Every structure is written in C-alpha cells, then in structure tokens.
Structure 1
Amino acid sequence: MSDNSSTGLRKGLTSYGDSGFSLFLRKAFIKGAGYTDSALDRPVVGIVNTGSAYNPCHGNAPQLIEAVKRGVMLAGGLPMDFPTISIHESFSSPTSMYLRNLMSMDTEEMLRAQPMDAVVMIGGCDKTVPAQLMGAASAGLPAIQLITGSMLTGSHRSERVGACTDCRRYWGKFRAEEIDEQEIADVNNQLVASVGTCSVMGTASTMACIAEALGMTVPGGATPPAVTADRMRVAEQSGAQAVQMAREHLTIDKILTPDAFHNAMRVLLAIGGSTNGIIHLTAIAGRCGLEVDLKALDRMGRETPVLVDLKPSGQHYMEDFHHAGGMATLLRELKPLLKLDALTVTGRTLGEEIERSGAGFAQDVVKSRERPIYPQGGIAVLEGNLAPGGAIIKQSAANPDLMEHVGRAVVFENADDMAQRIDSDDLDVTADDILVLKNIGPKGAPGMPEAGYIPIPKKLAKAGVKDIVRISDGRMSGTAFGTIVLHVTPEAAIGGPLAHVHNGDRIRLSVANREIALLVSDEELAQRARDEPVRVPIAARGYRKLFLDTVTQADKGVDFDFLRAENFTGSTPSM
C-alpha cells in the first residue's frame, strides 16, 4: 500500500528497505511508551506543541494540549503531541518575522515526516499562526488551527490597560516626559495581566480572526481569552473535529480556496486589522498557488467599513469582542459581502455556520454597516513613484489631518542611524516634515522588523506632537497607531526608489487618491540611481544566507521563493 493511501502508524514509514519491518520497528518503539495495539489502530491526530518559556503568549499550551487530547480520545482518535520551534514577538532577534519562514518549514517537514492523519496546530503569537498555516498548506494534511487566546486586561490607576497599544501610548508619554520613571514602572506591571496574546487588534488577534474567517478554526475559535473555560472547550472541540476531518479526509486544500481568502480579506478590513495581516495572507495564499491582489484589496476596502470597536482603531479589547459574540457577530453583519459557500473545518460552509450561530443579541463592540467605526476598510493601498510595487497605510488608526499632506523629507539611512539621531536636539525636524526610514525591508534589516513605527523625535514629543507622517519599507505592530506608510516596495536595499530619497525632498501623501509620491522628476531619480548604486545584502552561511538569497518582497508575502506552490496558478481570490 502506498504512503498516500496509508493511515495511522502505517503512514510515511521510515525507509529501511522493508516496509513490514519498518512498521514492526515503529510499533515496537511506540509500545515502549505504554501503548496497546487497540490504541495504535485508531486515527492518529498530531498536536503541534509550541509551548516555550520564552513565549508567554503560549503559556496555556499545556492545558490546551490536554484539552485537545481529551477531544481526540472522546472522538475515537489517538493524540500525539510533538514540538516545533516557538516564536515570540518580543523575544526574537532581530525580529520574529525573520524566523516565520523557518517555523513554517519546521511545521511542514514535521507534518510530512511523522505519521498522522490530521493535525491540530496550537499557535497565537504574531508569526506562529501564519507560519503554521503556511506549513500546513504546503503539507496538505487535514489541519485545524487552535488559537492560544488573548490575555486579560489590567488596570493602572483605575484606567483599564492592555498590551500592546497601551504599551506604546504610555511609552510615548514617558518619552515626552509627561510621566516619570516610577509611573512607567508601575504600568509595566499591569499591561500584561495574564498569559495569552495581545488584548487589542494587533497581529495575533488579527490572525486569530483571519484563521476563523478562512474556515480553519472551529466556530468561535478566534476570540475566547487564553485563561477561560471557553478556550479549553474550543480546544476539546478542535481535537474531536480533527478526528472527523481525518475520517473524511478533509484536507486543507479543500478549505483554503479563493473564496476563503476573499472572506479573510473582508474580515481583515472590517476588524481594522494589523497591516501584517496582508503579508501573512499573501504568504499563505502563495503556498496554495493563489495571488493576493493589493488593488483588489483596496477596492474591497472602499466598500468594507471597520465595524469592530477595538484598539488601536477603537476603544475595546478582545475579551469585550468575545463577550459580544465574537466572530459570529461580525460575520453576521458582513454576510452580504462574504462568499458563503466556502467550506470550513467542520465540513459545513461558512454560510451554514453563520446560520447555526443564531440571531445575535444586543452589544456595542461590533457596529452595523450603517454606523461603522470607520467608513472604509482599515487598510488602504498606496501607489506612486516612491512605491512602484505598492505601500500600505492603516487609515483607521491614522490622524485624519495628516492623510492629505505634503512635507519635507527627514531621512534616516537605517535603524542605527535613526537610533543615534532621533532624539538629538540638533535634528532638523518640524511637525510638518515627513520621517523617512530606509533599509528595514525584507533584505535590508533583514527580516522586515516592526521598526516602521518610528518614534516621534523627542523634541517634538516634548512639545506635545502626537503624530507625524512616517514612511519606511518595514512593518509596524498591529497594536501601533499613527499616520504611517509601510511596506514600500521595492525596498531600499535592492535599489527601490526609497533608497534615493534625500533630506529636503518633498513628498506627497494622499490617502484619498491612494498616492505616495516623491516630488522629484523621473530624470533626477534615474540620475540618483546611477550615482548611488545599492549593494544588496548577502551572507556567507546558514539561515541568514538562505533568507537573503531567497526571500521575496512584501507584495509576495516575504516568503522564500522556493516555498511557493509548485503548481502556482497566480489566480486571485474572487472579488
């Protein structure tokens, strides 16, 4: 029997040249852990364990694993948990994005190497969920995503706070000398009140919502906080559903269809989601042989308002979204804009799951399309001679007064240059200028760090300036806010126009016209390119060499070029 038709422990036998002996040896070793033949004859469900002392966002992983195991066994399957690498946003140098593709490869290869009929993937912190979805899409197994869940909120001097929008807000106050060292230390104790992911609509929450919109979680899987009984029940349901998926051979390619990506893009816009969500969706789609069209995303944004009132675009936190009915409440409101025939991990369509969720109830976190938080989608796509391949701005978290703006460029050549000069009293900068940071893109950093949230120069912050237009080829956290242009493509490190911006150049930002323009003639820009040749970063060995040699630009998901689907069709999710 071929590996493709084999199941359970007979799947993917180790190559000893004798398949009978391979199975005999495998059973002998697993029986050393105390398993019986009866247990070993059941469908095998792998459980990806990403618990780590370096990852408090996954601090509930042991409890989740036990709940998944319970669900698997109640449904008649055999649970087998195994580790992969774990990535935490705040503990990964130079940036977690640098390691996302490595985690996706680890996930894919372990799914291929070890015998399992289905897999439950436990992820939460920013890059772990996309890495797992990318790896699973490439491996092709029946797969279900289990989100670790958001943290609880804390309280500082009677003000409710949560990571990490409030982290940035209080740090801004500290830089502006509005609060002292004692208060910044006090609030540091309250911002993260439990294990779990950021409690606002940052990248982790965005990817949780996107995973459910894609049909990759059980209904209601996106929003329960990490330390709740609801989250444990979702884990048990995920284990049971994985067994059913194994029996029905409901593989991931039947779920991650163009219609699923259409729904995910709608949700990304309606939640005021993280700008990182675009890069991750693009990378996941690339593993499925699909293309995310940024122009199509922008067209969708003009008719998909922001409906979820969560920081940084609104006021609430993830636990409030959960209490308001979670994704079911949002999907019910978005129903006319969704592809309702898209299949989910339950074997039912998204439309059927919306109907099963009931009629809803009164709440004030998810707004109606008639009374949105923001009239258009949270993210706008910009084009112009500064970004021929596109750039993006989170318009729902920007200053309306700055979204139509012409200013003088104040240029930083790289992150070190910025760190050395941003707080200098000698920095020639006003609130009307535009800060430009180069060389923090996929190759330039490397890894495209979240340095695009350029701090307000200290002398402006002390003068009360809360926002200024900022432009870079990097990313920013989904928890961040401000009039910030990101993902400028091509990046400076490979010779994109951004590389040739000079101090004093005039730049025009027009979100209404979807434009980011360097007000320099084409002839002058071409001459600068000839006079200022760019040396593309290289490395001699290891993962850094692999990364720099093969990583794609932001518009292709910052994935490795060789990991995109072999049968790539380039078809775009239907609009």
Structure 2
Amino acid sequence: MMERKRKTADELRSARWFGPDDLRSFGHRSRMMQMGYSAGDYIGKPIIGILNTWSDLNPCHAHFKDRVHDVKRGIAQAGGFAVELPSISVDETFTKPTSMLYRNLLAMEAEEQIRCHPLDGVVLMGGCDKSTPALVMGALSAGVPMIYLPAGPMLRGHHAGKILGSGSDAWKYWDERRAGNISDSEWLGIEGGIARSFGTCMTMGTASTMTAIVDAMGLTLPGASSIPAADSGHIRMSSECGRRIVEMVWEDLRPDRIVTEASIRNAAIVAMATGCSTNAVIHLLAIARRANIPLSLDDLDALGRTTPLIANIRPSGKDYLMEDFFYAGGLRALMLQLEDRLNRSALTVTGRSLGETLEGAAVYNDDVIRPLSNPVYPEGSLAVLRGNLCPDGAVIKPAACDPKFWQHEGPALVFDSYPEMKAAIDDEALDVTPDTVLVLRNAGPKGGPGMPEWGMLPIPKALIKQGHRDMLRISDARMSGTSYGACVLHVVPESYVGGPLALLRTGDIVRMDLPRRRLDMLVAEEELAARRASLAPPAPKFGRGFGWMFSQHVMQADKGCDFDYLEAGFGPTVGEPDIF
C-alpha cells in the first residue's frame, strides 16, 4: 500500500481556528485561556473530538462516563488534545415511541458538531441500536478522520440455573407469563437476572449487529465489537482508540478511503453470517447512501442467499450469547471463516488492510463460530420478499422462525393501530386460528411515527394457552433485533402513505412463499382498485418540531429511512461553508 504524505501542524483543520494573527483567532485563543488552557496544550496538536452518547437513562452506555477518560488518556499519550462533546443518547429502552425517530437527529447532530468545531478527528462512542448508524452516518458526511468505539455487549443473564439472553428470553418468558406458567416471584427473578451489567444486549440483536457491521467495515479497531463491556480489554481498547485517532489525523486517513463499495459488501456478508438483526437492512442502506455507494434490497437478498449463517448466537442460533462469541475468537475469527468471500484489501482504521488485521485470528470453539461446512442455517440471516403486498420490498429472518411458515396461506386479521392490536390480542374470545395472518399497519416511518419495533406482534392469548408459540405476522414496522418468529417487516410502501398494506382487509387470504421470495394478498385487481379509490388521506402525526420535519422528509425503509435532503458525499464535497 502506497505511503501517503503526513500532515504538518499548519495543515491541521484546527489551525484555521487558532493559527492566524487576526481578531477571530485572537478570540478563539483567548477563550481557550479562559478555560485554563495554555497554547502548548493545543496549538500544533491534533484536536480530537469525543462524541459521547452517555446519559443517565441509557443503561447500554452507563460505562461511557468512565470510558471517555480512557479515550482522553490515549489521545494525550499520542500527543493530541482531547475535547468531549456530549451528544444525544438515543437509547432503546426508554425513548418513545422509538429511538428510530431520533436516529437521523443524532446523525445530523454528529455531522454538525464535527463541522462547526475545530476538530481534526473524532472518536465516536456508541453502541445501543441506533447510535451506531447515526454516529457513522454523521461522521461520514462530515468527512474528518474518525474511529468508532463500540459499547460492547453486557454479561450473560442468569436465573434459576438457566442462561438468559436479553430481549429474546424476555419475549419467550412473557408468553409463558401470559399463559399463566410463571409466578410473580419467578417473574421478578427473571427481571433482575436478564441484564446483569452495563453494555448492550448480549444476543445478536441490533446493537451487536451494527457494531459488528462497523467493525467489518474497518471503522473500529479490529475485533473491538466483540469485547464485553465489563471486560478490562474494553478499557484498553478505549485508550487505543484515543492513540490511534491521533495518528489517523497525521496520516489524513479519512472515512472516504475506508468506507468503499468493497467494505460495504464485506460488512453485509459478515452481517448475514452473524444472524444479524433485520434492522441491519435499514441502517446499511442509509450508511451506503451517505457514502454514495450503490446498495439495494436486492443486493442484500442476493448476499443472503449465498452466505451461510455461522454464528450460533441467539436469537437465530440456539445456544450461545455474545460473551461466548468473544471467548470463541470474536468477529476476527468469524471473518477468518469467511476470508475467501471478503475483500481482504479493504483499508481499515489501522492503516492496514482487512486481510492483515485477520492475521493471528483463530476459532476456539467451532460450535459457537461454525465452519462453512457446518452452518447454523445454509443461507444468510435475512431474506427480501416482493409481491402485491410489498412491491418495493419487505424483510424476514428465516432462520429465526418456524420452517412450517416458510410457505403459508391464511386469512388476515388486520389491526390499524398498536393500541387496537394490544387490546384485542389478550381477548381469549378473539376469532383466530394458528393459520391466521396477523397484520399491523400504520406503523412505518411516517405512520408509526418513526417505524417502532412493533413488528413482533404478540401471539393471541387463546393460542398461547393452546401451546402455539409462532404464527405469520406482517407489518410496516420494525422489530427488535433480539426478536424472533415468522415476522414479515418493513413492508414498502408503508400503509400510511397509501401502500398496498392499506388495502388489505380482515378475511383476505395472504400467501407467503419464502423460497420464491413472494408475499401476496389473493384479492382481485379490480377490487383493490376500488379500495384504493376510497382511501382517505391520514391526519398529520405532528404539527411542530423535529417530528414535523421528520414526517416531511423521511424516506421509506428501502432507502434507509434517511432524510431526502441529506445528500450523499464526504466532507467538503457536500459544501462545507467557508466560515472564516
């Protein structure tokens, strides 16, 4: 790889703020003195912004309050000057109606924080589901050297001698609770045992999916996404992020050299092999769009057909959690299994190629990280459906649902809102059979609003008591990456904007044919035309604020749900204003 000329101190971006002998720079230097800094603290040094998404209401990022000091230590050791910039914390647990409503807000904040401040490089601290794509999207558009610091998964859950996986086991035991099979004291024990430390969900949910994707894309230190949040290795990795970003500034190693068509494809292949969250589709499409790289649902489906699922991690796998994955060799070991399918020459934040970063990787448990000859599932994690219910696509996770639903035909039971569905689903007199297809609409990007994780519709209580634990469910919503079941998601166009899902009625026959990648309602075109003519425009969801802006400009799921006015490109190519 050809060595590039290193930057000099007067070429630093921050030198524009502090170097000139003029009134504005006088003001900048004066205000630094006001905060107690001398010129020797920051002049001629890379100024590194640390975008920290810690908050008191984000359990996934609870340790970031400490980790930021580890990053600062690394920056200082490498001769840089660290500045912490708190960013909004879009946690999955407490943010309503969904953190997805605010992913684009964090992406915009990250881009503008970088653009408007004297930063030469950035460390992005995230992990909880939407924080990873948001920070990466914003930093891609800003275009300065960046490195991603993943929060890391929490420790395994435990209760009554059983190992629990956050999210996945919550859904499982909640069904047993609804069926009357779990007592109050047992429920309390599960509640306290399912999340035992700070860090993200330790299943292969959206958090671990997205940090693995960014790792495979070359934007983290190699294998950083696998380190448990509570492991001392996470502290060491955090300091190394600080040291490495300083060198990246001198090397002028910007994200447009790392995020390429090759690295996006690598990330998609790795995602399929991990048993990734369905949310990966939306976020990968959005990241690729920001980088001006062509990527479509059909591209992802093609990779899904040819990439075996080899990470035996819940919910797509049966037995293990992220802590086990780390001990088995982590993401570097999984990528080693996929080595012949990946572009080894893709550049990473280390300044070395992906192939070079895999040197020394090894699999220590081949039941956790399977060889290609013994996959958990012969195809990848995700499949894309099309048909008259979803002409622009829908997504399903075949390995995480009962195979008997891969080809299924049954009558629809349609709900127009989440409250309507929630009220009906526990009615034991509900007219429903195991063949019924549950449908929730008005839950997409505009209709939700924000496309909430409502897509894993609960099994009706009457069926739960009969012993049923899966059925075909369809929505224009998303579902948690820790979820499972025969759930068709991300139906595009969404019903709120007049997509075909808005035309479906209770009793209509729905057919899914997964091998053929089809999803259709068996209703005559003439009848659908008549229903379409009678559709009334829905009432606006917001009258003001960010919600109004979101509703006006969010694109559909097949475009990554980014805003239509956030054009693709890197840094100055998207028009960084001349602020001096």
Normalising by the smaller structure, the TM-score range is over 0.9
The counterpart of 1:353, out of the listed 354, 357, 363, is: 357
Alignment partner, residue 329 of structure 1: 333
Once the two structures are TM-superposed, the CA of residue 172 in structure 1 deviates from its matched residue by: 1.5
Looking at structure 2, the residues matched to 427 and 360 of structure 1 have their Cα atoms a distance apart, in angstroms, of 50
The counterpart of 2:409, out of the listed 384, 406, 411, is: 406
The counterpart of 1:86, out of the listed 74, 84, 89, is: 89
Is residue 12–residue 113 contact of structure 1 (8 Å, CA) maintained in 2? no
Q: Secondary structure of 2:122's match?
A: strand
Is residue 470–residue 483 contact of structure 1 (8 Å, CA) maintained in 2? yes
Is residue 71–residue 240 contact of structure 1 (8 Å, CA) maintained in 2? yes
CA offsets, 1:436-474, max 9 Å, x none? 111000000110000001000111111111001000000
1:300-339 correspondence runs (5 A): 300-314=303-317, 315-339=319-343
Once the two structures are TM-superposed, the CA of residue 71 in structure 1 deviates from its matched residue by: 1.2
Once the two structures are TM-superposed, the CA of residue 19 in structure 1 deviates from its matched residue by: 7.0
Q: Secondary structure of 2:565's match?
A: helix
Once the two structures are TM-superposed, the CA of residue 362 in structure 1 deviates from its matched residue by: 4.7
CA offsets, 1:155-191, max 9 Å, x none? 1111011312111111111112111222111110011
Once the two structures are TM-superposed, the CA of residue 73 in structure 1 deviates from its matched residue by: 1.3
Alignment partner, residue 37 of structure 2: 35
Looking at structure 2, the residues matched to 436 and 12 of structure 1 have their Cα atoms a distance apart, in angstroms, of 56
1:443 alignment partner AA: K
Once the two structures are TM-superposed, the CA of residue 10 in structure 1 deviates from its matched residue by: 2.6
Unaligned runs of 5+ residues in structure 1 are 569-575
CA offsets, 1:74-96, max 9 Å, x none? 11111111101111101101110
Looking at structure 2, the residues matched to 19 and 541 of structure 1 have their Cα atoms a distance apart, in angstroms, of 44
The counterpart of 1:191, out of the listed 181, 189, 194, is: 194
Is residue 386–residue 393 contact of structure 2 (8 Å, CA) maintained in 1? yes
2:334 alignment partner AA: L
CA offsets, 1:215-243, max 9 Å, x none? 00011211111111111111111111100
Looking at structure 2, the residues matched to 541 and 5 of structure 1 have their Cα atoms a distance apart, in angstroms, of 45
Alignment partner, residue 269 of structure 1: 272
The counterpart of 1:254, out of the listed 252, 257, 261, is: 257
Q: Secondary structure of 1:90's match?
A: coil
Is residue 493–residue 537 contact of structure 1 (8 Å, CA) maintained in 2? no
Once the two structures are TM-superposed, the CA of residue 13 in structure 1 deviates from its matched residue by: 7.2
1:104-123 correspondence runs (5 A): 104-123=107-126
Q: CA RMSD in A?
A: 1.8
Identify the range of structure 1 (534-543 vs 363-372) with the bigger mean alpha-carbon deviation. Answer: 534-543
The counterpart of 2:59, out of the listed 56, 59, 64, is: 56
Alignment partner, residue 495 of structure 1: 498
Q: Secondary structure of 2:227's match?
A: coil
Is residue 9–residue 40 contact of structure 1 (8 Å, CA) maintained in 2? no
2:433 alignment partner AA: T
Count of residues in correspondence between the two structures = 561
Is residue 493–residue 536 contact of structure 1 (8 Å, CA) maintained in 2? no
Once the two structures are TM-superposed, the CA of residue 33 in structure 1 deviates from its matched residue by: 2.7
Once the two structures are TM-superposed, the CA of residue 22 in structure 1 deviates from its matched residue by: 1.8
Looking at structure 2, the residues matched to 211 and 564 of structure 1 have their Cα atoms a distance apart, in angstroms, of 21
1:317 alignment partner AA: L
Once the two structures are TM-superposed, the CA of residue 534 in structure 1 deviates from its matched residue by: 3.6
Alignment partner, residue 20 of structure 1: 22
Q: Secondary structure of 1:336's match?
A: helix
Q: Does 1:278 align with 2:306?
A: no
TM normalised by structure 2 equals 0.94
Is residue 200–residue 318 contact of structure 1 (8 Å, CA) maintained in 2? yes
Once the two structures are TM-superposed, the CA of residue 269 in structure 1 deviates from its matched residue by: 0.5
Q: Secondary structure of 1:478's match?
A: coil
Is residue 140–residue 570 contact of structure 2 (8 Å, CA) maintained in 1? no
1:131-146 correspondence runs (5 A): 131-146=134-149
1:34 alignment partner AA: G
Change (3 A) 1:359 1:548: closer
1:374 alignment partner AA: Y
Identify the range of structure 1 (522-531 vs 500-509) with the bigger mean alpha-carbon deviation. Answer: 522-531
Identify the range of structure 1 (470-479 vs 62-71) with the bigger mean alpha-carbon deviation. Answer: 62-71
Alignment partner, residue 68 of structure 1: 71
2:439 alignment partner AA: V
Alignment partner, residue 3 of structure 2: none
Q: Does 1:366 align with 2:356?
A: no
Looking at structure 2, the residues matched to 357 and 239 of structure 1 have their Cα atoms a distance apart, in angstroms, of 24
TM normalised by structure 1 equals 0.95
Is residue 18–residue 29 contact of structure 2 (8 Å, CA) maintained in 1? no
The counterpart of 1:424, out of the listed 427, 432, 438, is: 427
Q: Does 1:433 align with 2:436?
A: yes
Once the two structures are TM-superposed, the CA of residue 12 in structure 1 deviates from its matched residue by: 5.3
Once the two structures are TM-superposed, the CA of residue 11 in structure 1 deviates from its matched residue by: 3.7
Once the two structures are TM-superposed, the CA of residue 34 in structure 1 deviates from its matched residue by: 2.6
